[in-house]
């Protein structure tokens, strides 16, 4: 990336990071949905996949807004390719997703697996909450009202996803995992209640 001279450059950098993060989440969620057993968990993850696709597009929209603002001083780049020149990869999200894949490859009772999937998904959400929260603050600081609003929208969706996961974990899944941990393998009949 070019030299960053101001907060707006840093905001664009953060947005490219978030675009990569959303992209990686879209790629990772299907395997998590597949591995999950609890129906509510599966549905929440499916729902968040749909939301995540919209969030990725929203990041593009925001970068376009920022690109247009540059039009006046001759720094406007052409198209989305220009916005993602260098295709910056979010290594933070790559690490979180790698850990998720690693834990999901372990042999586990299905209820324990659900608890592990929730934990991985919450790490993803927390990373995003941090990134979007920061980006929104930059946008506010810069007086970019529309950009701040769009970022706030995504931020709220990430909070919602996180809250839903907490609710699922506390209401049933962790308790079932506790049971699963005490029973011997092959006790599938105790599940599904």
Site for Zn ion, rule CB under 5 A: 128, 158
The long-range contacts involving 47-52, CB below 8 angstroms and separated by at least 24 positions, are 48/121, 48/161, 51/157, 51/161, 52/22, 52/25, 52/26
Over the window 127 to 156, marking each residue x when it contacts Fe ion by CB under 5 A and - when it does not, the resulting string is -x----------------------------
Which of these ranges, 31-39, 76-84, 89-97, 145-153, lies near Fe ion under the rule CB under 5 A?
A: 89-97
Q: CB 70 → Fe ion: shortest distance, Å?
A: 23
Which residue's C-beta sits nearest to Fe ion? 90
Give the one entry of Zn ion, Fe ion, none that residue 23 binds, where binding means its C-beta sits below a cut-off of 5 to 8 angstroms depending on kind: none
Contact 171, 51 (CB under 8 A): no
Among 13, 40, 53, 92, binds Fe ion (CB under 5 A): 92
Contact 77, 85 (CB under 8 A): yes
What φ, ψ does residue 125 adopt, rounded to 5°?
Answer: -60, -45
24 is a site residue for Fe ion (CB under 5 A): no
With respect to Fe ion, which residue has the nearer C-beta, 23 or 128? 128
With respect to Zn ion, which residue has the nearer C-beta, 31 or 142? 31
16 is a site residue for Fe ion (CB under 5 A): no
Q: CB 146 → Zn ion: shortest distance, Å?
A: 22
90 is a site residue for Fe ion (CB under 5 A): yes
Q: CB 46 → Zn ion: shortest distance, Å?
A: 13
Among 8, 15, 17, 63, binds Fe ion (CB under 5 A): 17
With respect to Fe ion, which residue has the nearer C-beta, 26 or 179? 26
Give, in order, the Cα–Cα distances in Å from 169 to each of 13, 49, 66, 152. 34, 19, 39, 26
Query: Contact residues for Fe ion (CB under 5 A)?
Result: 17, 52, 55, 90, 92, 128
């Amino acid at each position: 990336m070019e030299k960053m001279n101001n907060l707006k450059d840093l905001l664009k950098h953060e947005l490219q990071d978030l675009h990569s993060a959303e992209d990686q989440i879209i790629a990772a969620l299907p395997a998590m949905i597949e591995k999950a057993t609890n129906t509510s968990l599966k549905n929440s993850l499916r729902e968040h996949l749909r939301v995540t696709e919209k969030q990725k597009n929203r990041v593009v929209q925001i970068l376009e807004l920022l690109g247009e603002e540059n039009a006046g001083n001759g720094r406007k780049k052409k198209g989305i390719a220009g916005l993602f020149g260098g295709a910056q990869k979010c290594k933070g999200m790559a690490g979180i997703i790698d850990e998720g894949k690693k834990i999901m490859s372990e042999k586990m009772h299905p209820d324990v697996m659900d608890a592990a999937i929730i934990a991985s998904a919450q790490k993803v959400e927390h990373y995003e909450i941090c990134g979007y929260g920061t980006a929104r603050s930059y946008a506010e600081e810069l007086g970019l009202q529309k950009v701040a609003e769009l970022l706030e929208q995504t931020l709220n969706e990430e909070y919602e996803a996180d809250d839903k996961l907490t609710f699922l974990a506390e209401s049933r899944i962790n308790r079932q995992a506790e049971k699963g941990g005490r029973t011997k393998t092959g006790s599938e009949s105790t599940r599904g209640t």
